[in-house]
A and B are shown apart, each in its own frame.
Chain A
């Protein structure tokens, strides 16, 4: 069975600084990979997805992620963080489809002014 690890429970960055959130997965074949963001009291919003092809994917709100098969990683990056990016971020993997996802436990992002 697949699994997802987000090693950082909480990350604090200053506004304008760069951001990288780590995600490692365990899955035999080529996975379907996702990053979602959740604001307090809200559902999950899709930031970006990877199915195949170019390993660097662009998402909404200036986010990007890179799929590295050799490291089983799909890290999320943003060059300059805005205060509105403060939220919880979830990495997820799908086994052969985008429907049944296994989520990591999330990384809480705090942005300092």
Chain B
């Protein structure tokens, strides 16, 4: 049973560039959430996708956008990269319904902005 998979594992970009990160949810899950984890910090909620729509959003600027595909996989896009966007980006999946389905996390994509 495949868990949450993310690609790529590492990425180096230059300020001002754009980046796309990808996530495949755990088998059977239909909801995908994205979190940003800066060095030495806990993860911070970016947004959540369900039925191909953004359902909830944390305190992140519009430079952060996403997409969910019919097969439940998801992309996180970040435009006009800043040095402060350097972080571990974590994807988590869960099952919609009662809200009791806990998040299952992938191993993350380490983004470095130079």
Contact = CB atoms under 8 A, between A and B. Distances in A.
Interface stretch (A14-22, A41-49, A79-87): A41-49
Contacts of A105: 40-42
Interface residues of B, number: 25
Interface residues of A, number: 25
B22 to A, nearest CB: 15
B48 A42 contact: no
Chain B contact residues: helix, strand, loop or mixed: loop
B76 to A, nearest CB: 15
A31 interface: no
A63 interface: no
Contact of A44 (B40, B41, B58, B90): B90
Contacts, number: 64
A98 B43 contact: no
Interface in A15-40: 32, 34, 36
Interface in A81-107: 90, 92, 96-106
Interface of B: 4, 31, 33, 40-45, 48, 56, 58, 90, 92, 94, 99-108
Given A44-B103, A98-B94, 18 more contacts: A36-B105, A43-B4, A43-B106, A44-B43, A45-B105, A46-B102, A49-B102, A98-B99, A98-B101, A99-B94, A99-B99, A100-B33, A100-B45, A100-B48, A101-B103, A103-B43, A103-B44, A105-B40
Q: Which 9 A-B pairs have the closest CB atoms?
A: A97-B99, A103-B42, A43-B105, A44-B105, A43-B107, A98-B102, A105-B42, A103-B43, A43-B106
